[in-house]
Structure formats: structure tokens, C-alpha cells
Structure 1
Amino acid sequence: MTDSDSARIDALEMKIAHQDEVIEDLNRTITAQWSEIDQLKKAMATLFDRLHHAEGRLAATAPPEPPPPHY
């Protein structure tokens, strides 16, 4: 093996090591984002349920609204 071949192999090994680090960093980022998305979905579902119940209570207790005068 020549010095040129050895240098090329070293460069490839360094490149692969760097790519492994980048892939692992991207994996951590994506995992964190999915966790946050799951939390946000749960919060949205809770807010939707609260709004639905509030609208139901408001409709049950509010008298019917009279039509506007220009009707």
C-alpha cells in the first residue's frame, strides 16, 4: 500500500466518522421533535375537548338569540 492509498483511506475513515456523528445528531433531533409533536397533539386534544364542553354548556344555558332588527 502506498502513502497515497493510506492517505485516501485515512480521509475516508475521517469522513465516515464525521458522518456518523451527524447522523446521530440528526437522530436525536428527530426524536426530540417527535416527542414535542406528541405533547402538542395531546394538548390540542385537551383544548378541543374543553372548548367542545364549553360550547355545549353555553348553548344549553343561553336563551335563543332574537333575529336582528333588519330581518
Structure 2
Amino acid sequence: MRDPKIKLLIEQLDRKFERLSSIDDLIMPPEGWVYSVRTALKMTLKQLGSKLGITAQSVKEIETREKWGLLL
């Protein structure tokens, strides 16, 4: 990876994912997992939306709902 900051973000997320065996103890990033993973991968809302087959606005809504604990 060229950007050391991105590499660090990915390594930090990897360490958090390793602890999924005790998911109850897992602390969600302040902005939510979707946002954290998307930004660590340097993806735009539009790029992630394209991968998921939804609009950029829908991705943003998912990120917002997750941040506020409104995802079912």
C-alpha cells in the first residue's frame, strides 16, 4: 500500500475483526462499520453503492442509520 495512513486503518480494522468471537465486547467505531471500512478502502459513496447495486444516497442513509443504531 502506498498510503501508510490507509494501511494503518486497515490493520486496526483487521485487529477488531479478529475479536469477532466475542462480538458482544466489540466496540463499534464512532462513525459505524460501513463508513469505517469504506473510508479505509478509499471508496466513495458512489463506488460502494455501485458494488451493492444501490445509489450513493442509499449508502449514506445506511451509514447514518448504523451510526445512530437504527439498523435492524
Q: TM-score range by the shorter chain?
A: under 0.3
Of the two, which has the highest radius of gyration?
1
Q: Which has the higher contact order (CA 8 A, sep 6+)?
A: 2
TM-score with structure 1 setting the length: 0.28
Greater helix percent: which structure?
A: 1
